[in-house]
Structure 1
Amino acid sequence: MTMTVRQLAARTKLGLSIVAGSSGAGRTVSWAHAIELLDPTPWLSGGELVMTTGIALPDDVAGQRDYVYRLADAGVAALAIDTGTTLRDIPQAIIDAADDRDFTVLRVPAQTPFIAVSRTVIDDLAADQLRTVQEVVDGQELLARAAARGGLTVLVETLSNRLAASVCVVDRSGGQIARSGELTDLRRRVVERLDAESGRIGGARVLAEDRWIITINPLPATGDPHGYLAVASPTALDAAGRLLVGHAVSLLSLEMAKPTGILDAESRLRTAALALLRSGGELDRRLSQQLGFPNDPQVVVVFVAAGALSADVVREVIQRPVDTAGDPYLLETLDDGVALVVSSDAADRISAATADAAQRGLSRRVRIGISRPTMLSTVRTVVGQARAAAHARDEVGARPAHIDDIGTLALLLGQPAESRSALITSSGLQSLIDYDAANATTLVTTLHAYLRYGGQWDTSANSLGIHRHTMRNRIRKISEVTGHDVDDAQHRSELWLALQARELE
């Protein structure tokens, strides 16, 4: 923090005293300058401590007043007058004029040379610059560790905390990737600026809106920027803050420009890790740490149901936003959707990012289910929960379904695995599963759609992309294979419960 006039006057070794304008002594001193001119203002830039022996001061009251007013109007921090060479006392006209403008005047005793005052100011400025450099270095190291540890999300949170500011990162189309701080509509303000500049901000922008100073910085890339970093603070950022923002821009650009080969390799590693865990295997401790899951943490499974789409298509759309969110995750494509393993406290954030990505990338909403928390080492036991919760969600695009919100499924979870297996067999569903496996048919999927839509031929057929007559033929075959009339209410209930029990296996 740069020295103020009051702090300078408090240096006892100098013997300075404030004789006028004490209310203005909070101004910072940018330099100390001895100058003996009647009008020194052409050689001043503001913030200086002007020192004079008074040799050039006018003798008349009006001239002395105008001299003080010129200095105050030029933004000078204070006036220091020596009382050991030309003057023995400071003229009352100068004191009165300084009080009138809240402009501080310091009395310099005869034994204090101007060089001592200048050296004190210069030493403090040098120390302040050193503090700024150290602050920037510390901040850069903190941001680098945040980026390495948690990617974009942790980096944005760290920058926000370091600057005591609101921070937001958006992609080139204005979609929010990460945000931190109290200004919740920062993304909207960035999008408005994008719209005002025809969808592309070419350089840094500084905006004053409401009580906020907002800086928007492009994240450089070949061609259009990867996106934009916006920082909103109540006051303008100081030099250290601006340097930290510049460093964050570099880190964010590097993070968003990871070569495709690296991203593919990381993706394959996450998929292999989840596949291993689902099969009952154990992750190597070092690999678990590398993937962001040290010490067997508590996690949940977020399952995104593909519906009528290919699960691979769903994965392609949601993976990039999940990756840039910065939270550690594992991901695997299953037959009917995509399974994500994330820390328990990231579930809502990842679900929201996934839903938003699906809406923008697929032009449709998806069903999302969330399992109960478990340890990473036992994650295989809850994959079925998340899948079942997603498939049990009645309304596509509604908020993600937690397994505990689904009454029937929660009851099934309380049953031992043997009981659920018995239900699958007694209902005839196992016969249908075996038939599909032997004949490469999709009767189980057909049954699921038919029961989900309450036996409505057209709706269930449309959900599968088949003709209603094909649907009727399949349902007839299902009744034949299971030995149950699918239109019978009791059998329908048994088959529906069996389907849910199968999801939990």
Structure 2
Amino acid sequence: MEPPLHPTLRTLLARRDLRLALVSEERMLADGALDQPMRWVHSSDLVDPTPFLADDLVLLTTGTQFPSGDHEGIAAYVERLVQRGVNGLGFGSGVHSQGIPPELVAACQARGLPLFEVPYDVPFIAIARGHAEAIAAQTYARRTWALEAQRALAIAALRPRGLESALTELSRRLGCWVGLFDATGLVVHEHPIGAGGATPAISEAASALLQRGSSASRAFDDAEAPHTLFTLGRTGHLRGAIAIAASAHDAETRAVVTSVIAMAGLSMEQGVVLARERRRLNAQLLESLLTDDPTLARRVLGSLPAAPIVVAVGDAAQAAAVTEWWDRRRSEGTASFLAVGPEGLTICISAAAEGAFDELAAQLGVRVGVSAASDYRSFSQAHAQAVTALGRGTSGVTRYADAAGSGMLDALASEESRLLAAARLAPLRVHDAKAGSDLEATLRSWLEHDARIDAAADAMGVHRHTIRARIAQAAQVLGVDLSSFPARAELWAALQLAATG
């Protein structure tokens, strides 16, 4: 834990050699009145010493400035001290009066100002010297704490997952919550875990600071608690941010925090370099896997996700965010292989963990195509299925089994095929527009009912001779013989493809 920043009045009162006695009832004082930082001890018998006082000090007096029975004057004196920020008042007993005037006791009690008695044989200089010694001891303690903290942080950084270990150690040394955000503003590590430190306000503040793109720090209050945010990385290349549920107090605290910020920034920069090399290696291993031979990939990586596997392909532009997400999954025990290829980002995992793709799409809003379950000897086929599913999907996760079930014509649908279908049907549509006829609809209904005149007539509510005449007229306009199956099949395909345009 971090030692206190400054000695307090409670610290001074605890010194047995000074024999100081608190006269005020502690329960009647303001909360924490005895534990406020005490920067110095000053003595004065002036009626109004406030022009010569500084904040956060304790004032000593012998009371020569108080006329006997001057209730209003003493009350005004105490009020001036409180307004000036004096933390306590010490009264030297036996110099001007025996004991402390009751008017002073009552005034201090009314304003919550701690009042203590100084024995006659204890000089004020001894109190000032005692406080100076406490300041020196406190300064030494904090410098010792800072050195020990930096040593502990350096040791933590050498452990596996060194950055997370160092941040956990920082949290313990400061005695507060510490969180690490990645470049997208997501919390990737926190300590204590589950303490509720990563509130929406902190996450929004971290995201806003990262979006600015410049190296910076920011202090703010969340639910009346002070927090400090520090970006990681250089301007234009931010790698994340660290949030600390405290404000940086003195030079020692800032030195410890600064060392962690530097360590984290260096770690993330190195991580980026390693990630770039890993992507290059995995891209080459993907080419090997696409030959349906996992031998090289296993030899290089040591292991691959257990078969049966599923392969997914997503947009390569989202590779960085997806890779970070999968790295966290890997740390939780989900084995995976990721690589960027010409078709996009390829992800390979065990079929048993296939539900992770739905989580990925929900959390990051990415679009992926997923193959059917396969083994590594059919990796290229699974990869082709994933590419097909990605092309057929519009959002979220599209599985090849669902895409394949939609029909052969849907698989053949493309902009070029739709243009060809529209061109094939153009004469029919021109005729319908000019003549006000309904040949295209009649032809579609006839083909939907297996080229049966009576069924098409019933479906359209017209006489069968009308259907027969329209079909003959459509065949003449299109210049085809609709008595042959190939002509009917081609026309049916054109009608279906044109309807998807």
TM range (shorter): 0.5 to 0.7
Offset of residue 108 of structure 1: 0.9
Query: After superposition, what is the alpha-carbon deviation per residue over 1:346-387, rounded to whole angstroms, capped at 9, x for unaligned?
Result: x99x9799658974xxxx422689x9xxxxxxxx99x99x99
Give the match for residue 215 of structure 1.
228
Give the match for residue 93 of structure 2.
83
Offset of residue 339 of structure 1: 5.2
| 1:101-500 paired onto structure 2 within 5 Å | 101-148=111-158, 149-150=160-161, 153-160=164-171, 162-165=174-177, 167-171=179-183, 174-176=184-186, 178-180=188-190, 181-182=195-196, 183-186=198-201, 188-190=203-205, 193=208, 199=212, 203-223=216-236, 225-231=238-244, 233=245, 236=247, 238-239=249-250, 242-258=254-270, 263-265=275-277, 279=295, 305-307=311-313, 318-319=322-323, 331=337, 333=339, 338=346, 359=365, 364-366=366-368, 449=400, 452-454=403-405, 456-461=407-412
Query: After superposition, what is the alpha-carbon deviation per residue over 1:380-414, rounded to whole angstroms, capped at 9, x for unaligned?
Result: 99x99x99xx99999997699xxxxxxxxxxxxxx
* SS of match in other structure, 2:41: strand
Give the match for residue 28 of structure 1.
36
Kept in 2: contact 1:4–1:27 (CA 8 A): yes
Kept in 1: contact 2:178–2:242 (CA 8 A): no
Give the match for residue 104 of structure 2.
94
2:18 to 14, 23, 33: 14
* Corresponding residue pairs, total: 388
| Structure 2: gaps spanning 5 or more residues | 420-501
Looking at structure 1, the residues matched to 265 and 308 of structure 2 have their Cα atoms a distance apart, in angstroms, of: 28
Letter in 2 for 1:18: L
Assess, with a 3 A threshold, how the Cα gap between structure 1 residues 176 and 317 changes in structure 2: closer, same or farther.
Answer: closer
Assess, with a 3 A threshold, how the Cα gap between structure 1 residues 214 and 460 changes in structure 2: closer, same or farther.
Answer: farther
TM-score, length-scaled by structure 2 = 0.58
* SS of match in other structure, 2:58: strand
Kept in 2: contact 1:78–1:103 (CA 8 A): yes
Assess, with a 3 A threshold, how the Cα gap between structure 1 residues 249 and 100 changes in structure 2: closer, same or farther.
Answer: same
Give the aligned CA root-mean-square deviation in angstroms: 5.5
Looking at structure 2, the residues matched to 331 and 151 of structure 1 have their Cα atoms a distance apart, in angstroms, of: 23
Offset of residue 97 of structure 1: 0.7
Looking at structure 1, the residues matched to 77 and 306 of structure 2 have their Cα atoms a distance apart, in angstroms, of: 73
| Structure 1: gaps spanning 5 or more residues | 289-295, 372-379, 401-447, 470-505
Looking at structure 1, the residues matched to 400 and 326 of structure 2 have their Cα atoms a distance apart, in angstroms, of: 29
Query: After superposition, what is the alpha-carbon deviation per residue over 1:101-152, rounded to whole angstroms, capped at 9, x for unaligned?
Result: 1111111112222233223322333333333333333443444455553255
The answer on 1:61 being equivalent to 2:67 is: no
Looking at structure 1, the residues matched to 284 and 140 of structure 2 have their Cα atoms a distance apart, in angstroms, of: 49
Percent identity (aligned): 22
Offset of residue 19 of structure 1: 1.6
Assess, with a 3 A threshold, how the Cα gap between structure 1 residues 270 and 450 changes in structure 2: closer, same or farther.
Answer: closer
TM-score, length-scaled by structure 1 = 0.57
Q: Whose Rg is larger?
A: 2
Looking at structure 2, the residues matched to 334 and 170 of structure 1 have their Cα atoms a distance apart, in angstroms, of: 21
Assess, with a 3 A threshold, how the Cα gap between structure 1 residues 164 and 316 changes in structure 2: closer, same or farther.
Answer: closer
Letter in 1 for 2:218: R
Looking at structure 1, the residues matched to 327 and 234 of structure 2 have their Cα atoms a distance apart, in angstroms, of: 18
Give the match for residue 44 of structure 1.
53
* SS of match in other structure, 2:112: coil
